[in-house]
Amino acid sequence: MSAGVGVDLENLWIRFGDFVAVRDANVNINGGDFFSFLGPSGCGKTTILRAVSGFLDPSEGKVLIGGNDMRGIGPNKRPTALIFQNLALFPLMKVWENITFSMEIKGASAKERRKRADELLDMIALPGQGDKLPSELSGGQRQRVAIARALCAEPDVLLLDEPLSALDLKLRQHMRTELREIQQRVGITFIYITHDQGEALTMSDNIAVMRAGVIDQIADGKTIYNDPNTAFAASFVGENNVFRGKIKQVMGNEAMIATNRSGDLVARISTANQGKLKEGDDAMMFIRPEAFAIAPDGATGDHFVTARVNHEEFEGNVFNIFTEGEGGKEIKVSIPNHGQSFQDHTGQNITLEYEAQNAVLVPAGELAAE
């Protein structure tokens, strides 16, 4: 375990009038972790962040930082630093003044501030840019200045509110690795807010998946991807094909589901739902596009699906096949490109095969919007 300071949310409720923004959140974030809150916009993740940083008071429950209840402690007294979605760099201050604002508040001399600013500028790979104005920097540079400014305050916990959302794709991917590197170097707790599952999966030690104020699942990225608790977590994180139906028979960790379209199929019950899903329950089966393989024609059984191909796409690393699915939703199949010749199936029926281990059963529930 790292030496960083942990953050705990205990039975946290946040209401705005009649609207419940956060419903009974319980989260333990270990010190030194890179922890992400992942969810669509409006799910309450930013509200949680503002409660941790002190701009919002919880309606009920507690926010603990390093084991201390933060109730009644203002944002300027908490050991947290927040990186705003729009960065909120002070437009009239030069880069070095921005970075060392927290030192200015404490009355540090200009000389000390310059020195610290130069160190931090070296760390974020922007040496010699201290005398520019934020408006003279590029998006990615501003991003790094915002991180340096937050780190200069020497917080125990760094809070990041979708800081990469304004950047273009290439820069976003680059900043992901950079953020992760910085986090490992400084060793403090990062709490990261995002609606981009790619960011959450690549950077985080642990992820909390949120939906409409409720935390659906807290786990590491692999677990959330492979073993989702709910239909929402399964459909929100990564691409997934859904098959609806009723549980026909439970066989240990696996079960057979009678689907509406594709007959009886066998799948693994997700860990959190083992022993809970019973025969006759409404359930959903999720299979990732890459978990399918094309089977010889005419193969039948409880791990084969037959469907008509609507269209196909070549994406470079994969071939995507879209077949007729349930309720207007297509089933997407991704076949890795190994340089093999690929035959066009458009308009034909094909049989797809999967392993029961790679299909997950969860109780029927709300799906993430496309």
Partner 1 sequence: MNLSFLRVSIWVYLAIFFLYLLGPLVIMSVTAFNSSAFPRMTPWECLTFQWFGELFQDQRILNGIKNSLIIGAGTVVLSVAMGLAGALMLTQIWPKLRATYYTIIIAPILIPGVVLGISTLVFWDRINRMLGLGADSVLSNGIFLTVIGQSTFIASYCMLVLVARLQRYDVALTEAALDLGATHAQAFRKILLPFMRPAIASAAVLAFLASFENYNTTTFTFGEYPTLTIELAQKVRYGITPSISALAFIIVALTVFFALLNEAKLKRQELVAAARKNATVEELAGKIKLPSFFAGNVAAMLVVIFAAATITVVGTATAYSPDQCIANVKEQKQLEADQRIQELRKQREERRKQREADEAEQGETQSAPKPSNNSGFGNVFAPNALSGDEDESNAEPQPSTNGGFGGAFDPNSLKTDE
Quick one: which segment of 12-20, 79-87, 229-237, 302-310 binds partner 1 (CB under 8 A)? 79-87
76 makes contact with partner 1 (CB under 8 A): yes
Quick one: which segment of 78-86, 180-188, 222-230, 244-252 binds partner 1 (CB under 8 A)? 78-86
> Nearer to partner 1 by C-beta: 89 or 231?
89
For the CB of residue 102, give the shortest distance to partner 1 in the complex, in Å: 4
> Nearer to partner 1 by C-beta: 96 or 225?
96
Q: Which residue has the tokens 């937050």?
A: 150
80 makes contact with partner 1 (CB under 8 A): yes
Distance CA 43, CA 56 (A): 16
Task: Name the residue type at position 148.
Answer: A
Distance CA 207, CA 133 (A): 36
101 makes contact with partner 1 (CB under 8 A): yes
For the CB of residue 346, give the shortest distance to partner 1 in the complex, in Å: 50
Token digits of residue 351? 């049989």
For the CB of residue 96, give the shortest distance to partner 1 in the complex, in Å: 15
Which residues ranging from 53 to 72 are in contact with partner 1 (CB under 8 A)?
53-55
Distance CA 282, CA 245 (A): 6
Which residues ranging from 127 to 156 are in contact with partner 1 (CB under 8 A)?
149-150, 153
Asked if residues 15 and 54 have their Cβ atoms less than 8 Å apart, the reply is no
H and E: helices and strands count for the chain: 9, 20
Q: Which residue has the tokens 């029961």?
A: 356
How deeply is 331 buried, as exposed, middle or buried, from its count of CB atoms within 10 A (0-12, 13-18, 19+)? Answer: buried
Interface with partner 1 by CB under 8 A: which residues? Answer: 53-55, 74-76, 80-82, 84, 86, 88-92, 101-102, 104-106, 149-150, 153
